[in-house]
């Protein structure tokens, strides 16, 4: 056993996921099957090996943090996709709650 049910629950909460009981059980089972397989990586002696984060030897690409858009047309199109909005703002539930 690589992970416990409790650990799976904790990971779900870190990932901001609520799992139904049967979903939780299935993912718990699959986690362990996958980790068993993946653990074969531990056979490798990788001391002193440089990690590869990226296959191309590229430098960072920078640009000015400025809108490339001229008019306000795109803004309207972007906001059209918002689940809820107020004027030019995205509307969300309260972030800071009153202490009760």
Partner 1 sequence: MNYYYKMSVAEAARALQNKEITSKELTESVLERIEEVEEDIRGFVTLLDGDEVLLEAEKIDQARVSEEPLPHLAGIPMALKDNLCTRGVPTTCASKMLQSYCPPYDACVVEKLKESRTILMGKANMDEFAMGSSTENSAFFTTRNPWDTTRVPGGSSGGSAALVAAGEVFFALGSDTGGSVRQPASFCGVVGLKPTYGLVSRFGLIAFASSLDQIGPLTRDVRDCAMVMEIIAGHDPRDSTSAPKEKEKYTEYLGRDIKGFKVALPRDCFTEGLDAEVKKVVMGAVGKCTALGIEVEDVSMPHMQYAFPAYYIVSTSEAFSNLARYDGVQYGYRADGAGNFVSLYKKTRSGGFGQEVKKRIMLGTYFLSSGYYDAYYLQSLKARTQIREELQKVFRDYDFIVTPTSPTVAFQVGEKGDDPLTMSLSDIYTIIANLAGVPAISIPCGFVGGMPVGLQVMGRPFEEGRIFQFCYALECLLGVRNQLPETGVKRGGTVV
Rounded-to-integer distance, Cα 81 and Cα 78, Å: 6
Beta strands in 1-100 (DSSP E): 85-86, 89-90
Compose the 38-77 pattern: x for residues touching partner 1 by CB under 8 A, - for all others: xxxxx-x-x--xxxxxxxx-x-xx-x----------x--x
Decide whether 1 or 14 has the Cβ nearer to partner 1: 14
Q: Give phi and psi for 67, each to the nearest 5.
A: -65, 135
**Interaction of residue 86 with partner 1, rule CB under 8 A:** no
**Interaction of residue 95 with partner 1, rule CB under 8 A:** yes
Rounded-to-integer distance, Cα 100 and Cα 83, Å: 29
**Interaction of residue 94 with partner 1, rule CB under 8 A:** yes
**Interaction of residue 6 with partner 1, rule CB under 8 A:** no
């Amino acid at each position: 056993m690589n992970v416990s049910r409790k650990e799976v629950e904790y990971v779900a909460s870190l990932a901001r996921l609520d799992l139904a009981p049967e979903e939780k059980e299935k993912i718990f089972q699959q986690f362990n099957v996958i980790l068993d397989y993946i653990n074969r990586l531990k056979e490798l002696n990788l001391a002193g090996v440089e990690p590869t984060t990226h296959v191309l030897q590229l430098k960072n690409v920078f640009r000015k943090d400025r809108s490339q858009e001229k008019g306000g047309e795109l803004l309207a199109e972007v906001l059209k996709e918002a689940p809820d909005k107020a004027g030019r703002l995205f509307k969300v539930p309260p972030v800071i709650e009153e202490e009760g």
